[in-house]
């Protein structure tokens, strides 16, 4: 079975990752790419300044860039849209596609906390997809909007889900985030060489709120947020890709490091093409200096999470985790949500 897909905002950094990940995808066939007005009508190879480390697929290189509105893609017969629009643009444009009945798997940060929008990681909370029915009722559209979380959130939440069996009570987390998380021009070299920046605008709040939604319970009408307090401090450091995070979790139970590692390793995978066989790779005590961004960010093609350094503390555990921020943390997350939407019959 083949599903025809389109990418809204296909020329940017995340858009390029979409194209890379969709190349040779067994189910998805890329049929339309959109971008802003200055690119419309150009072949993709001219419109995009391609910077991904594999070549532009030949068929995409010649594809004509369309405008980002439903009419412009009407003849492409697309069943599923991936969105990597800037959130300001997405707020205005995504509803138009949803009104036309499109299913949209979006990486844009708008509406992630909207009560009727599922925010999903397929291995963690696939049942939240049920919110789509609520959404259709409330919004009165035939389409379906699904969001994936922010890159720093998605790195941590699978490990928290594993801990939840031990009674997760609260979380403190410090992040060491790669510059690619801010987009190609987001961090200048003069800002970050021989330096670190202990603040990323809005990031801390995203981690604190999105985590509780992802770990929350769907009761058929809405999501009850998980009641764990989450406190985040976010830092930018001079790495290219891969967000590393130090997590301190308070637990009601008292598991050993070995039990924590086992819980992380045993987290079930999703039966989807882009989901790794083992979602979380966990380093033991003999490798206390792992995960490291450059060595571990490509685990499972960048779709896995890597953890390590598990220690018990006076109130629970401390450990480190890492994921590739532009694959598992952005385009790959949306593609995986797209696979879930197909599997669950929404496409």
Residues engaged in binding a copy of itself (CB under 8 A) = 51, 53, 170, 172, 174, 176, 179-180, 184-199, 201, 229, 231, 233, 235, 237-240, 244, 246, 248, 288-295, 298, 308-309, 313-315, 318, 320
Q: Which is nearer to a copy of itself, 86 or 238 (CB)?
A: 238
Spatial distance between the Cα atoms of 239 and 323, rounded to a whole number of angstroms: 13
Q: Which is nearer to a copy of itself, 13 or 80 (CB)?
A: 13
Q: What is the 3-state secondary structure (H, E, C) of 222-246?
A: CEECCCCEEEEEEEECCCCCCEEEE
Relative to beta strand 305-312, strand 316-323 is: antiparallel
- Specify which residues 306 forms β-bridges with: 281, 322
Smallest distance from the beta carbon of 17 to a copy of itself, in angstroms? 13
How many other CB atoms sit within 10 Å of the CB of residue 345?
7
Distances (CA, A) of 60 to 38, 281, 311, 332: 18, 34, 47, 18
Smallest distance from the beta carbon of 103 to a copy of itself, in angstroms? 32
Spatial distance between the Cα atoms of 296 and 292, rounded to a whole number of angstroms: 6
Which residue is it, tokens 């009104």?
A: 99
Smallest distance from the beta carbon of 43 to a copy of itself, in angstroms? 15
Smallest distance from the beta carbon of 315 to a copy of itself, in angstroms? 8
Q: Which is nearer to a copy of itself, 222 or 288 (CB)?
A: 288
Smallest distance from the beta carbon of 251 to a copy of itself, in angstroms? 13
Spatial distance between the Cα atoms of 289 and 308, rounded to a whole number of angstroms: 8
- Pair 245, 155: CB distance under 8 Å: yes
Q: Which is nearer to a copy of itself, 51 or 220 (CB)?
A: 51
Residue 234 is a catalytic residue: no
- Pair 110, 84: CB distance under 8 Å: no
55 φ, ψ (degrees, to nearest 5): -70, 155
Smallest distance from the beta carbon of 29 to a copy of itself, in angstroms? 28
Relative to beta strand 223-224, strand 229-236 is: unpaired
**The two structure tokens encoding residue 104:** 């949209």
Q: Which is nearer to a copy of itself, 72 or 197 (CB)?
A: 197
**The two structure tokens encoding residue 256:** 């050993």
Q: Which is nearer to a copy of itself, 315 or 344 (CB)?
A: 315
Relative to beta strand 217-218, strand 223-224 is: antiparallel
- Pair 305, 321: CB distance under 8 Å: yes
**Around 265, how many Cα atoms within 13 Å sit in the side-chain half-sphere?**
12
Q: Which of 151, 226, 234, 324 is catalytic?
A: 151
Smallest distance from the beta carbon of 202 to a copy of itself, in angstroms? 11
231 φ, ψ (degrees, to nearest 5): -125, 125
Residue 321 is a catalytic residue: no
Q: Which is nearer to a copy of itself, 164 or 191 (CB)?
A: 191
Q: Which of 226, 243, 321, 324 is catalytic?
A: 243
Q: 18: part of which helix (H) or strand (E)?
A: helix 13-22
According to DSSP H, which parts of 193-331 are helical?
A: 203-214, 257-265, 293-296
Residues annotated as catalytic (active site), given as ranges: 151, 243
């Amino acid at each position: 079975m083949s599903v025809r897909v389109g990418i809204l905002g296909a020329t940017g950094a995340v858009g390029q990752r979409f194209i890379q990940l969709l190349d040779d995808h067994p189910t998805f066939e890329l049929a339309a790419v959109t971008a802003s007005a200055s690119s419309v009508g150009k072949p993709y190879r001219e419109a995009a300044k391609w910077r991904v480390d594999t070549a532009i697929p030949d068929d995409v290189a010649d594809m004509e860039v369309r405008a980002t509105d439903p009419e412009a893609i009407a003849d492409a017969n697309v069943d599923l849209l991936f969105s990597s629009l800037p959130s300001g643009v997405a707020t205005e444009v995504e509803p138009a596609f949803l009104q036309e009945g499109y299913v949209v798997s979006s990486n844009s940060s708008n509406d992630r906390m909207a009560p009727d929008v599922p925010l999903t990681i397929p291995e963690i909370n696939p049942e939240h997809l049920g919110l789509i029915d609520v959404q259709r009722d409330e919004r009165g559209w035939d389409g379906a909007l699904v969001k994936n979380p922010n890159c720093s959130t998605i790195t941590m939440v699978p490990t928290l889900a594993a801990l939840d069996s031990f009674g997760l009570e609260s979380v403190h987390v410090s992040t060491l985030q790669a510059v690619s998380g801010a987009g190609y021009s987001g961090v200048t070299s003069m800002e970050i060489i021989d330096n670190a920046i202990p603040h990323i605008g809005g990031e801390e709040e995203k981690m604190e709120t999105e985590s509780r939604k992802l770990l929350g319970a769907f009761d058929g009408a809405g999501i009850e947020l998980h009641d764990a307090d989450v406190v985040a401090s976010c830092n930018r450091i001079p790495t290219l890709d891969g967000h590393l995070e130090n997590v301190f979790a308070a637990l009601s139970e008292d598991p050993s490091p070995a039990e924590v590692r086992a819980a992380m390793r045993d987290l079930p995978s999703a039966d989807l093409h882009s989901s790794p066989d083992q979602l979380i790779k966990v380093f033991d005590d003999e490798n206390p200096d792992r995960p490291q961004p450059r060595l571990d960010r490509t685990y499972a093609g960048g779709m896995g999470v890597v953890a390590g350094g598990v220690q018990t503390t006076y109130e629970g555990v401390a450990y480190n985790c890492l994921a590739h921020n532009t694959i598992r943390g952005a385009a790959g997350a949306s593609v995986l949500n797209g696979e879930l939407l197909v599997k669950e019959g929404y496409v």
